[in-house]
Structure 1
Amino acid sequence: MTFLKARGAMVAALALALAACSQGGSIQSPGATFVGDPPGGTGGGGTGGSGSGATCPQGTVIGTAIGTTTVCNVTGEILTNLTLPRIAGVAYRLSGRVDVGRDLGATGNAATGVAATLTIEPGVTVFGDEATDVLIVNRGSRINAVGTPSQPIVFTGKEDIAGTAIPETTNRLWGGVILLGRAPIRGCSTAVAQGSVDCQNAVEGITAATGRQALYGGATTTDSSGTMRYVQIRYPGEFLSSAAAGDDLNGLTLGGIGSGTDISFLQVHNSGDDGIEVFGGTTNLKNIVITGALDDGLDFDEGWTGAVQFLVIKQTANAGGPDRLFEGSNRAVASLAGTLNTNPVIANFTAVGVRTNSAGANLQGIVLNNTGGTPGAAGRFVNGVVTGTNTCAVASTANTSPGVRYDSLMFDCPGSLDSVAAAAFSAGSNNVSAVATSLSASLLPGPNELARTATNPAPINSFFEATDYVGAFSPAATATSNWASGWTIQLLPPAACPVGTSEQGTLAGQRNCVITGVIGSGTVPTNLRLTAGNVYQISGRVDVGFDRGAALNAGTAASLTIDPGVRVYGSSSADVLIVNRGSQIFINGTAQAPVIFTSRNDIAGTQTDKARASREWAGLIVLGAAPIRGCSTAVAQGSADCQNAVEGITAATGRQALYGGATPADNSGRITFLQIRYPGAFLTSAAAGDDLNGLTLGGVGSATEISNVQVHNSGDDGIEIFGGTVNLRNWVVTGALDDSLDFDEGWTGKAQFGIVLQALTASGGPDRMIEGSNRTVASLAGTLNTNPIIANFTFVGVPQNDASAGLTGIILNNTGGTPGGSARLLNGVVTGSTTCLNFETANTSPAPQLDSILSSCAGGYGAVATARLNAGSNNSTGTTATLANRFINGSAEAARPAVNARSIDTFFVTTSYIGAVRDAADLWWASWTCGLAAGSTC
């Protein structure tokens, strides 16, 4: 408890000193997961400004961007219902003390009170930057923060958003989350009866922090403060004044919370004080993870009589802590005598401590004391494992009402129990301390735990589920398949290959996990997660789900989630990953730990000429149900019946892979911080021309998020887009042997911040930097034409390919359809090719639009391209590019007037410059790409 002890020194300075270290690769699964726009991301398109360009929702105010993450501030009192929606590129800041509602008092009818509900959508990130940045849900109000396993809600610190937090050691970045309710408490602030409606108290620290009390307590046992489910609270507990004052906040503080509140699947990570502290009330907790707390893991006091089931507490030797795994007290403050005593029931827990803290003090596991009140705290502990601390349990001699009870506990600590704890241990059933723990991965049951006799907790409390094992995890749990999988961080190290993959030896010192067939079929689970610590082989054609059709009402949906730092590889043209219509992929890379799709040769280090390597495996294909133009049958363009088979797949595997439909906002998932290296192998032969692309997007919808993607040395196009409405941000194509960005069949999406660097990597390439077409195939006539908007790009080509053919930078043609492909191009730099721009005469519906384009090529321009340049604004063909380090704006680029792309579409980030990279300080590309930064190789 913060009023009992002074804290040690913070480690913020250490965290900053180590910020250059890789953070993402150390997060194992259950490990880093998507958290809105992931902490650790640097965004794109420069620093400061308006971030991602997203609009802040009503009830929030635009703040100072972090990189290009848009910050929406939440301030003051929330006195009407407020929703924080999931918006790509947005994080919400708690700016100072934020109150949900105004205290309605113990009876819920205070004249000055106001009830409100704060709703937070799955995947949202909320952060603070100071100790006073704290969220308080007052009595009578509610929080509705319900995430999902793949999109938990994350409360964190600013450094986490900026990418400088270190998951192992960072802490005390901001205040914390406080819920206050009207359930009975013991610690009344005045001389009234314990547990009565008049018994209330002010939550610790808030008066000192903000000058206004935040009260809890009452007589409503079933009071509800809302729901928190699939939530992470990272790096809270900063000092409100100083370490000496001991007034750092907890990760989650629960004051007088009632049993109507749902708190489950919640993690507190690296809190500067307690992980969770409970002051009275009747609240129950389930599926709770507390990691790295600098004080106690779970601290409870003031008459808490709730229950906890499935609890993990894992200490780490952070500076300044930790202290106890559990601490229970029973302070009375000014209360009259009463019978409301601290006495929770805690079942199925695994608590792993450290022997001593940084001050050299011996640490204890379960401590039940009488600090601040007599009798001391009581509690019943069932089906638990305690290990790692010097002493497993300590109980005060005053713990007599109702006393301490232990059943089916496994203690493994070198120190002796004190007399009260020893007596309870002997009096209980099925307790053992003479057998060492055999936990695998530090937390999962091993043979010694499985041999223990459990107590069924269901008859003890109706809140509990029936179990027949000790510890937090069942005998069936694995490091990649357990109730904590996917939504927690820094919990379990990498273990065996995930269920649905097969282990086949090792590659480059890591376990090799093979993926085959269809995800969601047979032994492959519907939701497959590729966890960090292994390498993954795509063996043959691997499908995510079975095609659900244009109406998304057939087949079987599945999902593939890939953790930060994971490497996935193929070995031949047959090795391709296809995400089918109605299924989703979640590639959750970070700036420090991008996901890498590559070849076996690359991982094994067997490429003979790395700079020219390409065509070593097939590629990634994502298919959706958004409208397309190129229907395979005579139906209306863009209709639900308009679909097509993605090129090459029939020849490769004998089974079509279809795309297209009538759902513009179709969602195929999220791809962020991804490298795709050396794809585009020929499916049959070079003569057939059926090599695949690095990233193929067929009919992908606008709800799909794709950002921070690099395709390197593709044997065909880098990125090819067939229709749909998908948008791209922060995209890089290097060394493509055909076109770098190829689009067709009615693509009407947007793209911003694109870098293209061509190279003579192998015979036969490269070709164009952009090719836009508009084929119709068998479609009926229609008006769905290819016409994306592409802003802030820097394209650096080569004059000719290996066949000595002069190359064109951007070509918009009418191959396969009339009118030809069109586009609106803004704020671009095109240089290096023989000809910068060449448009077909049929590009008339709509005509291409060009504004603020600096094109610097030796060859002439076609008549249509020249006309379009002259029709636009601020275009130049007579200015020589002055790019530094190949793609960073120089003086000529900086002098060009730019168009505010944000005024054209809200997808775009506001910029005041042309090109993809404003200047040498604009580093959106630097940490997650290969071959761009000095000294970086692919």
Structure 2
Amino acid sequence: MKKLATICLLAIVALGACKKSDDNDDPNGGGGNTNGGTEIRGVIKSDLHWTKDKTYRLRGYVYVQSGVTLTIDPGTKIVSNKDSAGVLVIYRGAKIMAQGTASEPIVFTSNEGAPAPGDLGGVILVGQATGNNNHSVIEGGVDAAYSAFGGSNDADNSGVMKYVRIEYAGKAVNPGDEVNGLSLYGVGSGTTLEYIQVIRGLDDAFEFFGGTVNAKHLIAYNCADDDFDMDDGFRGKIQFAVSVKDPKFTDAKGTTGDVSNNFEVDNVNPTNGFQLTRSPITFPVLSNFTAIGPNGASGTSADYGWNMRWRRGCKFILGNSIVLGGQKGGLRVEDDSTIYYYLRNTSNFYNSLLNATQKNIDAQLSVSPDKIVNIKDFSYPGNEVTLMNNAFTTNSKSTQLSAATDANLTDPFNNATPNLKPATGSPALTGALFDFGGLSDGFFEKVSYRGAFDGTNDWTAGWAIWNK
């Protein structure tokens, strides 16, 4: 009898252990400190508050459903193991209130003894702002019940992310179907994004799929694919941002022909059957970026591309910035309508400093040109690079530097500890202008310097980290 009772007890324990799988909901993290953190899994259905006295371990996809607020205190650590690559999804109508401080940032990171890109899936914010439906659902293998995004409210508010680090993120479900460090789907302008660093990501650092969200003080550091990827009709504003690439680190491109860039900005993908003029058109307005490419360093991956790759019908304004070290080139504009917007001075790389290892200015017509935009008055084809250079000289007020060192930044290509502040005598210390297009908007601080930093202050101090 005792033997039978013991067998039954062991069976009950075993069943209980099996029941607590990564596929079952544990919305309040009640699983205890198993293997390095209070486990969080499934769907969060009521308001939740994470505090810094605990470590929270994401198991698989975790969804904060509509109407729910997740509050995260300064200094809180959220981790993931590579076996499940946890993904936190803040869905439409939900909010994240993650307000760290410079001395106590909120950190999403690996829970492995030897951290590696992809240990964490990433963070996804899903809003209800407008886009052009280039993507029909959220990428990265999310549950179908949480895959729709966007809406009609451009002022939608998904909460606050401030003083947040996201380390070792990236989840590749299929080629071209990934979770990025911070993915922003239809996120509205009511959302606050400030002081966010994405480090050593397996795919893009920041990707904006439509929406109107604005941001300040963003850092993309040593991520494998594009640092700032924008598409689907994104129309937000960003000021003070950094993009630094590890020369030897790119994601696996295979035979796709894709490359890794500091910026990759599209309107739509024509293989989806859309015209490049599909509205709303992607049109970010950006200022005070410092973007650092490989600059021909020894061992640079063959999969590195351009500092800036504007293509597939997007419009853009990037002003008061420093862009250095692009491997295949610097300012690359592709496809007829994208070139047209630049030549017409709708788009502009404005009042900035540029030097790439080759082809500071580059352009390429579509393989199958977009016939929607009339470009005959620009004497196509064959003259697009010449015309781009002429427009650059006439309209941009930007400078093609003879060498990257002419920007006179302190130590920009020291990947382990980059120092991007302009040194004494740098042309970046003065000369900023906010007199073109959307740069006059009140969102932009009208600073005197170009690039992400002045010569004195370091807004990364205390919360951002390097050498990873």
TM-score by length of 2: 0.77
Deviations 1:107-164, CA, capped at 9 Å, x for gaps? xxxxxxx4101100000000122455101111111100000101000001112xx4x3
- Specify the alignment match of 1:468 in structure 2: 448
Q: 1-side partners of 2:32 and 2:265: how far apart?
A: 41
The 8 Å contact of residues 267 and 288 in structure 1, kept in 2 or not, is answered as yes
The 8 Å contact of residues 187 and 334 in structure 1, kept in 2 or not, is answered as no
Q: 2-side partners of 1:266 and 1:455: how far apart?
A: 25
Q: 1-side partners of 2:27 and 2:305: how far apart?
A: 48
| Secondary structure of 1:202 counterpart | coil
Deviations 1:716-741, CA, capped at 9 Å, x for gaps? xxxxxxxxxxxxxxxxxxxxxxxxxx
Does residue 205 (structure 1) correspond to residue 140 (structure 2)? The answer is: yes
Relative distance call for 1:213 and 1:62 in structure 2 (3 A) is: closer
| Secondary structure of 1:248 counterpart | strand
- Which sits farther off after the overlay, 465-474 or 454-463? 454-463
- Specify the alignment match of 1:96 in structure 2: 60
Measured after TM superposition, the shift of residue 211 of structure 1 is 5.3
- Specify the alignment match of 1:437 in structure 2: 407
Deviations 1:7-33, CA, capped at 9 Å, x for gaps? xxxxxxxxxxxxxxxxxxxxxxxxxxx
> Which of residues 81, 84, 104 in structure 1 aligns to 2:47?
81
Q: 2-side partners of 1:459 and 1:392: how far apart?
A: 22
The 8 Å contact of residues 139 and 178 in structure 2, kept in 1 or not, is answered as no
Does residue 427 (structure 1) correspond to residue 394 (structure 2)? The answer is: yes
Does residue 257 (structure 1) correspond to residue 187 (structure 2)? The answer is: yes
Does residue 398 (structure 1) correspond to residue 337 (structure 2)? The answer is: yes
Deviations 1:287-339, CA, capped at 9 Å, x for gaps? 11110110001000011110000001111124434710000001164668744
| Secondary structure of 2:62 counterpart | strand
Measured after TM superposition, the shift of residue 358 of structure 1 is 5.6
Q: 1-side partners of 2:235 and 2:29: how far apart?
A: 37
Q: 1-side partners of 2:199 and 2:246: how far apart?
A: 11
- Specify the alignment match of 1:780 in structure 2: none
User: What 5-or-longer segments of structure 2 have no aligned partner?
Assistant: 1-25, 252-258, 363-384, 413-419
- Specify the alignment match of 2:224 in structure 1: 294
| Secondary structure of 1:155 counterpart | strand
| Secondary structure of 1:216 counterpart | coil
Measured after TM superposition, the shift of residue 183 of structure 1 is 0.6
Deviations 1:777-798, CA, capped at 9 Å, x for gaps? xxxxxxxxxxxxxxxxxxxxxx
Map 1:523-542 to 2 at 5 A: none
- Specify the alignment match of 1:176 in structure 2: 122
The 8 Å contact of residues 182 and 220 in structure 1, kept in 2 or not, is answered as yes
> Which of residues 269, 280, 297 in structure 1 aligns to 2:199?
269
Q: 1-side partners of 2:337 and 2:118: how far apart?
A: 35
Output the amino acid matched with 2:432: A
Does residue 352 (structure 1) correspond to residue 292 (structure 2)? The answer is: yes
| Secondary structure of 1:426 counterpart | helix
Measured after TM superposition, the shift of residue 182 of structure 1 is 0.7
Relative distance call for 1:467 and 1:81 in structure 2 (3 A) is: same
Q: Which is richer in helix?
A: 2
Relative distance call for 1:63 and 1:393 in structure 2 (3 A) is: farther
| Secondary structure of 1:425 counterpart | helix
Relative distance call for 1:414 and 1:407 in structure 2 (3 A) is: same
Measured after TM superposition, the shift of residue 407 of structure 1 is 1.4
Measured after TM superposition, the shift of residue 63 of structure 1 is 4.6
Q: 1-side partners of 2:104 and 2:266: how far apart?
A: 36
| Secondary structure of 2:79 counterpart | strand
Larger Rg: 1
The 8 Å contact of residues 229 and 266 in structure 1, kept in 2 or not, is answered as yes
Relative distance call for 1:424 and 1:265 in structure 2 (3 A) is: farther
Output the amino acid matched with 1:61: G
Relative distance call for 1:451 and 1:268 in structure 2 (3 A) is: closer
Measured after TM superposition, the shift of residue 355 of structure 1 is 4.1
Q: 1-side partners of 2:427 and 2:454: how far apart?
A: 10
Q: 1-side partners of 2:227 and 2:448: how far apart?
A: 25
Deviations 1:630-689, CA, capped at 9 Å, x for gaps? xxxxxxxxxxxxxxxxxxxxxxxxxxxxxxxxxxxxxxxxxxxxxxxxxxxxxxxxxxxx
- Specify the alignment match of 1:285 in structure 2: 215
Output the amino acid matched with 1:72: T
Q: 1-side partners of 2:287 and 2:68: how far apart?
A: 34
- Specify the alignment match of 2:307 in structure 1: 365
- Specify the alignment match of 1:759 in structure 2: none
- Specify the alignment match of 1:836 in structure 2: none
Deviations 1:747-786, CA, capped at 9 Å, x for gaps? xxxxxxxxxxxxxxxxxxxxxxxxxxxxxxxxxxxxxxxx
The 8 Å contact of residues 228 and 263 in structure 2, kept in 1 or not, is answered as yes
Output the amino acid matched with 2:98: A
The 8 Å contact of residues 292 and 318 in structure 1, kept in 2 or not, is answered as no
Q: 1-side partners of 2:295 and 2:206: how far apart?
A: 21
| Secondary structure of 2:426 counterpart | helix
Measured after TM superposition, the shift of residue 342 of structure 1 is 0.6
Deviations 1:73-94, CA, capped at 9 Å, x for gaps? 111111111111121xx31011
- Specify the alignment match of 2:7 in structure 1: none
- Specify the alignment match of 2:266 in structure 1: 329
- Specify the alignment match of 1:145 in structure 2: 98
The 8 Å contact of residues 378 and 401 in structure 1, kept in 2 or not, is answered as yes
Q: 2-side partners of 1:362 and 1:171: how far apart?
A: 18
- Which sits farther off after the overlay, 57-66 or 149-158? 57-66
Aligned residues: 387
The 8 Å contact of residues 222 and 249 in structure 2, kept in 1 or not, is answered as no
Relative distance call for 1:289 and 1:451 in structure 2 (3 A) is: closer
Q: 2-side partners of 1:60 and 1:338: how far apart?
A: 43
Q: 1-side partners of 2:279 and 2:408: how far apart?
A: 41
Measured after TM superposition, the shift of residue 236 of structure 1 is 0.1
Output the amino acid matched with 1:404: S
Q: 1-side partners of 2:176 and 2:439: how far apart?
A: 40
Does residue 240 (structure 1) correspond to residue 173 (structure 2)? The answer is: yes
- Specify the alignment match of 1:389 in structure 2: 326
Deviations 1:855-896, CA, capped at 9 Å, x for gaps? xxxxxxxxxxxxxxxxxxxxxxxxxxxxxxxxxxxxxxxxxx
Output the amino acid matched with 2:31: I
Q: 2-side partners of 1:218 and 1:335: how far apart?
A: 19
The 8 Å contact of residues 171 and 236 in structure 1, kept in 2 or not, is answered as yes
The structure, 1 or 2, with the larger RCO (C-alpha pairs under 8 Å, 6+ apart) is: 2
Deviations 1:257-286, CA, capped at 9 Å, x for gaps? 100000000000011000000001000010
Q: 1-side partners of 2:201 and 2:449: how far apart?
A: 29
Q: 2-side partners of 1:230 and 1:379: how far apart?
A: 27
The 8 Å contact of residues 236 and 285 in structure 2, kept in 1 or not, is answered as yes
Measured after TM superposition, the shift of residue 421 of structure 1 is 4.8
Output the amino acid matched with 1:92: Y
- Specify the alignment match of 1:218 in structure 2: 151
Map 1:660-739 to 2 at 5 A: none
Tell me how large the CA RMSD over aligned residues is: 2.5
Relative distance call for 1:323 and 1:141 in structure 2 (3 A) is: same
Output the amino acid matched with 1:78: I
Deviations 1:367-393, CA, capped at 9 Å, x for gaps? 1011xxxxx111001110011112111
The 8 Å contact of residues 405 and 424 in structure 1, kept in 2 or not, is answered as no
Q: 2-side partners of 1:466 and 1:115: how far apart?
A: 37
The 8 Å contact of residues 261 and 304 in structure 2, kept in 1 or not, is answered as no
The 8 Å contact of residues 123 and 152 in structure 1, kept in 2 or not, is answered as yes
The 8 Å contact of residues 291 and 491 in structure 1, kept in 2 or not, is answered as no
TM-score by length of 1: 0.39
Measured after TM superposition, the shift of residue 238 of structure 1 is 3.1
